Amino acid sequence: MSNLNDLYQEILLEHNSKPRNYRKLDTHSHNADGFNPLCGDQISLYLQITDGVIMDVGFQGKGCAISRASASLMTQSIKGHKVEEAENVFDEFRKMLTEPDAVLDFEQLGDLETLAGVSEFPSRIKCAILAWHTMKAAIEETIEDVTTE
């Protein structure tokens, strides 16, 4: 499959081996745990939201390269942004993975475009989207753990 290289791009592999914001936030306003029961991927996400702005974000967890890199890229993408901007990016990101004909705002996606290749691997889309579901749950302060199922 020629698009294997599109999947495991250098940026993705680099974020996998050196994930950004990989830490628990001792003080945080929101947090949530996400699980992918199929894979056993697991993520704990912490957000410090002040006046509607994500001032700080951190995550920890276990998972495949795609889930880890996606979480790392997500933290970079949402840090310092308003909550609704983060949610808009999630919508755009989801479109990129699940709607092949969608017109995308690549400026808004930024480095997240690295994960575009995941759309060719339906069994891995859940890995890429786990961190984002967890973010949404943290923002909405869902009490129960999130799963991708």
Partner 1 sequence: MSSNYLPFDVDKIRADFPVLNQMINGKPLVYLDNAATSQKPQSVIDTLVNYYSTENANVHRGVHTLSQRATDDYEEARDKVKRFINAEKDEEIIFVRGTTEAINLISQTYGRSCMSEGDEIIISSMEHHSNIVPWQILCQEKGAILRVIPVNDLGELLLDEYERLFTDKTKLVSIVHQSNALGTINPAKEIVDIAHGHGVPVLLDGAQAIAHLEVDVRELGCDFYAFSGHKLYGPTGIGVLYGKESLLEEMPPYQAGGEMIKSVTFDETLYNVLPNKFEAGTPNIAGAIGLGAAIDYVETLGMGQIAAYESELLQYGTGRLSSIEGLKIIGTADKKGSVISFVMEGVHPHDIGTILDAEGIAIRTGHHCAQPLMDRFNVPATARASFAFYNTKEEIDVLVKGIDRVIEVFS
Binding site for partner 1 (CB under 8 A): 1, 4, 7-8, 13, 17, 38-42, 62-66, 68, 121, 123-124, 127
Parallel, antiparallel, or unpaired for β 30-36 and 146-147? Answer: parallel
Least distance from partner 1 to the Cβ atom of residue 46, Å: 21
Comparison of 16 and 48: residue with beta carbon closer to partner 1: 16
Comparison of 38 and 102: residue with beta carbon closer to partner 1: 38
Edge-to-edge strand order for the sheet containing 53-62? 53-62, 41-50, 30-36, 146-147
Comparison of 1 and 143: residue with beta carbon closer to partner 1: 1
Least distance from partner 1 to the Cβ atom of residue 89, Å: 24
Evaluate whether 59 touches 131 at the Cβ level (below 8 Å).
yes
Evaluate whether 41 touches 130 at the Cβ level (below 8 Å).
yes
Least distance from partner 1 to the Cβ atom of residue 122, Å: 11
Both tokens assigned to 2: 């020629």
